[in-house]
Homo-oligomer: A and B are copies of this chain.
């Protein structure tokens, strides 16, 4: 017996409910970060690990583009590549993230080599890229829908970082200023796509699960940061360590 499909409105409601419950704005590390309760070393560790995520986003997007047979879809999704990798005369999101790590006095080679990221960061991010490579296209698109929830967290982030961390130069926060309109545009496109193509209940369950999966990637990244850098003495072998103890 087939379960009845949801309407588009109902599907969107379910997707938004996943964000309300499982998006990483609820994570304790996020709350420490935005509440000004981290030191320079801990903010560095966050920015360095997140840089690996940023570096893989265009890889993920190119993977997704490569899977579509529809030129219109590919053109639309290509904006994301330009946003992250930059365009003629314009730097992209990854470069803006590096402005943040520069502003935090992190060595660029250390950041771009990704040699000191937590293994758990790498496992989580790589799982995301693989998901986009291997799952049905509509699920791969749905996994990007955390961008529905990003604009709000980003504005909290900027105000929280500026209010609390004298060591964060305001000009290093350009990434966060550029992102919200991009994220809104991208999320609207992806949401319309998912509502259009996820028409059976099985497929709708799968796209909700895809968004839940993506939330678990972001959540696991913060779990690992909390464990390694908030708890004393738990940095795993080979991962980022301060030059001098915090």
Contacts and interface: CB of A to CB of B under 8 A. Distances in A.
Contacts of A175: none
A115 to B, nearest CB: 11
A234 B127 contact: no
B212 A120 contact: no
Interface in A188-239: 212-213, 215-217, 219-220, 223-224, 226-228, 231, 234, 236-238
Contacts of A227: 223-224, 226-227, 231
A231 B228 CA distance: 13
B212 A236 contact: no
Q: How many copies does the complex hold?
A: 2
A36 B216 CA distance: 31
Interface string A117-135: 0111011101100100000
A21 interface: yes
A22 interface: yes
Main secondary structure of the interface of A (DSSP, over half): helix
A28 interface: yes
Interface string A83-110: 0000000000000000000000000000
B228 A119 contact: no
A220 B239 CA distance: 12
A216 B234 contact: no
A101 to B, nearest CB: 22
B130 A120 contact: no
Contacts of A217: 119, 123
Contacts of A231: 227, 231
Contacts of A120: 120, 123-124, 220, 223-224
B127 A219 contact: no
Interface string A31-63: 000000000000000000000000000000000
Contacts of A126: 123, 127, 130
A236 B22 CA distance: 9
A223 B215 CA distance: 19
B224 A236 contact: no
Contact of A237 (B119, B122, B215, B234): B215
Interface of A: 21-22, 28, 118-120, 122-124, 126-127, 130, 212-213, 215-217, 219-220, 223-224, 226-228, 231, 234, 236-238
